[in-house]
């Protein structure tokens, strides 16, 4: 037997319904906030991620899936979404479009070779947003508020937003030097990775998983102490806009994020979920004003956010949140002989194309067996076909809840069932997704 690769998962059954529902909420919110969907390749030139994310980051140095294709080109399965979108933004000259800023969202699989654990896989799904073409701190606040809105819509109650600022290039350069001066005398007390990072990118030392509890890291200089006036004002404005949007937040100077392209605002969003573990971050992001230029495009200010679906869905499970997923069959069409079966084939299609969730029999069960199958599928209405009724162009419809039965003309079946369905739905048949009364 061939098994799935380590760090991957099969999603099916009820869990697949949960995934579909969460994705529908994401799509709905993105439409409300006027973000357009964008889809980029699953693999890109390796240099895109090495230059964009940074050679010193754990993602590039330890976790990427790199390979050569048959043309001897070095490619990488995407470990995150931002770099690919920036590449597309530059390649397709989206910066020249008159409707700036560009607001896009993505939702797709990413790949990182890391230790598998609950909610973390080597093949994982991530959704996120990018706002390209504005330096306004209002965009930073909007990105945070959109993420919080999605989490709240899905039922998560205790959402905590942690924000920090890395400042502009000058502020970040000053902070970088302060870290080098601080760590250099005591670097031998940190892990080998941190020792290598000291000159390349000392900010990565603050993100070290091995030395996370080390007092040396806890006492390191804080970014907000090295912000110049312009950076301070940007960060202040972000906080003002979050206050206007009534988004609770906490300034956490320890947040630096694991990717090299960030500047100014960085943030993490936590779900306070019992039993979720110490790593309770379900979404994160920040501003990256230099990445477009770094990858060969014009100077462009950007801000974005990303969230892993596996972690988000695990949080919903831990909170025992029951999503309003409709999984019942509305109509089950039953028959016994071959002539009735032909009519069942026709009626089942007619009902489906009228917008009903409809099922019929495929495995030659007896009528008793079909009744059991209908119950297993929580079928709301049963349509019985028999030769005598069909000769008179009639069928028998049974309400599977009240057990009431009624003879209905075949020609009137759709309108009859539509009228029956009105009660538990909105003004007409809105609860089905399609109106049966058209």
13-168+228-318 shares its CATH topology with 331-432 = no
115-153 pLDDT, tens digit each: 877 768 999 999 999 999 999 999 999 999 999 999 999
318-374 pLDDT, tens digit each: 999 999 998 899 999 999 999 999 999 999 999 999 999 999 999 999 999 999 999
The residue to which tokens 């970040």 are assigned: 172
Architecture of domain 331-432: 3-Layer(aba) Sandwich (3.40)
Q: What's the rounded mean pLDDT across residues 247-268?
A: 86
Residue 427's pLDDT band, with cuts at 50, 70 and 90, is: very low
pLDDT (0 to 100) of residue 432: 44
The residue to which tokens 């759709």 are assigned: 414
User: Does residue 438 carry a pLDDT above 50?
Assistant: no
DSSP 8-class letter at 280: -
Which CATH number applies to 13-168+228-318? 3.30.930.10
Strands (E), 240-280: 249-251, 263-271
Which comes out higher in pLDDT, residue 415 or 279? 415
Which comes out higher in pLDDT, residue 63 or 58? 63
Cα distance between residue 123 and residue 118, in whole Å: 13
Q: Give the closest residue to 288 by CA, choosing from 149, 147, 66, 89.
A: 89
Domain boundaries, the chain: 13-168+228-318, 331-432
Cα distance between residue 360 and residue 53, in whole Å: 52
- DSSP reduced 3-state for 380: coil
pLDDT (0 to 100) of residue 62: 76
Cα distance between residue 173 and residue 135, in whole Å: 20
Residue 210's pLDDT band, with cuts at 50, 70 and 90, is: confident
Classify the C-alpha dihedral 48-282-139-174 as positive or negative.
Answer: negative
Across 150-168, b (16+ Cβ under 10 Å) vs e yields: bbeebebeebbbbbbbbbb
pLDDT (0 to 100) of residue 208: 74
Pairing, β 281-287 against β 263-271: antiparallel
User: Does residue 56 carry a pLDDT above 60?
Assistant: no
Provide the whole-model pTM. 0.87
Q: Of 28-32, 60-64, 347-351, which range is least confident?
A: 60-64
Cα distance between residue 254 and residue 95, in whole Å: 34
pLDDT (0 to 100) of residue 355: 94
Report percent pLDDT > 90 for the chain: 71
Q: What's the rounded mean pLDDT across residues 80-97?
A: 96
């Amino acid at each position: 037997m061939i098994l799935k690769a380590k760090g991957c998962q099969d999603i099916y059954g009820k869990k697949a319904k949960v995934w579909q529902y969460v994705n529908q909420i994401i799509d709905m919110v993105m439409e409300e906030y006027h973000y357009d969907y964008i889809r980029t390749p699953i693999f890109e030139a390796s240099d895109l991620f090495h230059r964009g994310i940074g050679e010193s980051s754990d993602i590039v140095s330890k976790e990427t899936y790199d390979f050569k294709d048959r043309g001897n080109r070095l490619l990488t399965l995407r470990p995150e979404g931002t770099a690919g979108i920036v590449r597309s933004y530059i390649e397709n000259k989206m910066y020249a479009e008159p409707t700036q800023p560009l607001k896009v969202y993505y939702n797709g699989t990413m790949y990182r070779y890391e230790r598998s654990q609950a909610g973390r896989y080597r093949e994982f799904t991530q959704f996120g947003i990018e706002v390209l073409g504005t330096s306004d701190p209002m965009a930073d606040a909007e990105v945070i508020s959109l993420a919080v809105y999605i989490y709240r819509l899905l039922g998560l109650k205790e959402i905590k937003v942690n924000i920090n600022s890395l400042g502009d290039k000058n502020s970040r350069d000053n902070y970088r030097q302060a870290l080098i001066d601080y760590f250099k005398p005591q670097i031998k007390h940190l892990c080998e990775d941190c020792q290598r990072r000291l000159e390349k990118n000392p900010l990565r030392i603050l993100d070290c998983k091995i030395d996370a509890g080390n007092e040396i890291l806890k006492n390191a200089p804080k970014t907000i102490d090295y912000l110049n006036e312009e950076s301070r004002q940007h960060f202040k404005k972000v906080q003002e806009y979050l206050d206007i949007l009534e988004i609770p937040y906490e300034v956490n100077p320890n947040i630096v994020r694991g990717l090299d392209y960030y500047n100014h605002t960085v943030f993490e969003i936590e779900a306070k979920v019992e039993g979720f573990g110490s790593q309770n971050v379900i979404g994160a992001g920040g501003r990256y004003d230099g990445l477009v230029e770094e990858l060969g495009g014009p100077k462009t200010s950007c801000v974005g956010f990303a969230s892993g679906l596996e972690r988000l869905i695990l949080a919903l499970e831990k909170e025992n949140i029951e999503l309003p997923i409709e999984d019942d069959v509305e109509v089950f069409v039953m028959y016994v002989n071959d002539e009735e079966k032909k009519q069942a084939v026709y009626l089942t299609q007619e009902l489906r194309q009228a917008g009903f969730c409809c099922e019929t029999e495929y495995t030659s069960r007896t009528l008793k067996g079909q009744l059991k199958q209908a119950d297993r599928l929580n079928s709301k209405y049963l349509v019985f076909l028999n030769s005598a009724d069909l000769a008179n162009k009639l069928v028998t419809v049974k309400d599977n809840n009240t057990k009431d039965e009624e003879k209905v003309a075949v020609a009137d079946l759709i309108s009859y069932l539509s009228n029956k369905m009105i009660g538990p739905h909105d003004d007409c048949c809105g609860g089905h997704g399609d109106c049966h009364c058209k």
